[in-house]
Each structure stands twice: as C-alpha cells, then as structure tokens.
Amino acid sequence: MSRRAALVQPNDTLQRTRRPALLLDFSPALAASPLRFGVSQTANPLIRDDRRIALQLEHSIEVEVSLEFAWRYRTDIATWNDPPATFVLEGPFIAGSRGTTLLPEQQPLHWNIREVQPLNAFILEMQLDRALLTFEWRFDSWSKQRTRMTQRIELSGDNEAAYAQQVEAGFRPGLADGMRRIATEMAAAETRSMKAG
C-alpha cells in the first residue's frame, strides 16, 4: 500500500493519510518490461496558458498495448483500481463531465474533465481554494503494440503555496510505482481481451 496525503484546507495541519486515488493512481504499470520514465519538478514557476505553474510532476512509461486499447482503458473509470477509493463519473468521458473520488471517512473530492483529445490526451482538474490541481494524460503510439503514456500533475493559482508541499509529498513518492501498476494492469487486460476475442 502506498502512502498518500489527503488534500486539506490551507490552514489545516498536514495529515498523512491515504492519497486520493484519482489524483495519482490514475496511473499505469508495467513492472517487468523495458521502462523509460522520469519525474520532474519545476525549480521556478512556469507560465502556461496564462497560469503560473508552481509545481509540476511528470512521469512517462511505455506499455505493450495498442494506442487504441490504452486510450479505451484509461478513459473507462471502471478500470481505475485504487482501493479503498471508488470513482463516479456523471455522464460520458467528455470535456465538461464531473467526477467524484470517494474515500472512507473523507469528504468527496470533486473534479472535472477539462479537455479530451481522443487517442491523444485528456486533462482532469480539481479546484482548490484559489488554486488548481490538474492531471494531464498524454498517449503516444511508438509502434502498433507499444504506447507511451505520460501523466503530468500541475499545481497553479494565487494560493498554490498553501498546497505545494502537500501535493509534492502526496504524489512524487508514488508517481512512478502508480504508473507501473496501471501499465501492468492495462497490459494484462489487453492480453485477456485478445484471448477472449
């Protein structure tokens, strides 16, 4: 079980608890395959889309599945496996749809799908108190049966300093392992579908 930090209000004390699964374990895994990955944080804030980016974490992984399968798998929230968290999406996986992450004994975490570019990328966003936490997933086909997936987590906004340490502690330590876990589950799911089909 990975350690996680729950999002708290800026003036609350930082509590180490199970991290909201949606936020990071929105990730794939491929433990025994050739992996290429990296995690980065901006030393100085970036400016992107007129937003000041205070914190950026990024990880990439290659998985032995087709681009089409990788896309279908990641955009089907039924595959988001991170107990004890459960996920609810109100409507289809399209821009504007609202989702919720439910964790025992915690307030629901609400998020929105900001952008969807089929077979290319999607962005989820979670509004905080005068800050915004985004999760961007990108998909690149490297061959017919190999896809590179990248997850970028960004924290921005006027009040990002209130959340930076918590987001860093909650996501950096488990980002690579979470991506490997999702990739492993994804590859196994495609193998099962090919045998069944």
Asked if residue 115 is part of any domain, the answer here is yes
Residue 6 lies in a domain: no
The pTM for the full model equals 0.75
Share of the chain above pLDDT 70, in %: 74
5: its two tokens: 């930090």
pLDDT at 195 exceeding the cut of 80:
yes
Q: If you compute the radius of gyration of the chain from its CA atoms, what whole number of angstroms results? A: 16
Can you read off the two tokens belonging to residue 88? 């609810």
Task: Tokens for 130, please give them.
Answer: 């005068």
**Does a structural domain hold residue 14?**
no
Which residue, among 61, 52, 34, has the nearest Cα to 152 in the 3D structure?
A: 61
> Quick check: 124 pLDDT over 60?
yes
68-90: average pLDDT: 94
Q: Is residue 28 part of a domain?
A: yes
Question: Which structural domain range is residue 75 located in?
Answer: 19-196
Residue 135 is part of a domain; what is its CATH number? 3.30.530.20
Q: Is residue 159 part of a domain?
A: yes
The answer as to whether 107 is a domain residue is: yes
- Structural domain tally of the chain? 1
Rounded distance, CA 139 to CA 113, Å? 16
Per-residue pLDDT, 197: 72
One-letter-per-residue 3-state SS of the chain: CCCEECCCCCCCCCCEECCCHHHHCCCCCCCCCCCCCCCCCCCCCEEECCEEEEEEEEEEEEECCCHHHHHHHHCCHHHCCCCCCEEEEECCCCCCCEEEEECCCCCCEEEEEEEEECCCEEEEEEEECCEEEEEEEEEEEEECCEEEEEEEEEEECCCCHHHHHHHHHHHCCCHHHHHHHHHHHHHHHHHHHHHHC
Can you tell me the mean pLDDT for 56-76? 97
- Dist. CA 103–CA 21, nearest whole Å: 8
Residues 6+ apart with CB under 8 A from 188: none
- The answer to the question of residue 164 being in a domain is yes
In a domain? residue 126: yes
Per residue in 149-183, pLDDT (tens digit) is 999 999 999 999 999 999 999 889 989 999 999 99
Does the bond joining 118 to the residue before it have cis omega, within 30 degrees of 0? Answer: no
Residue 104 pLDDT exceeds 60 = yes
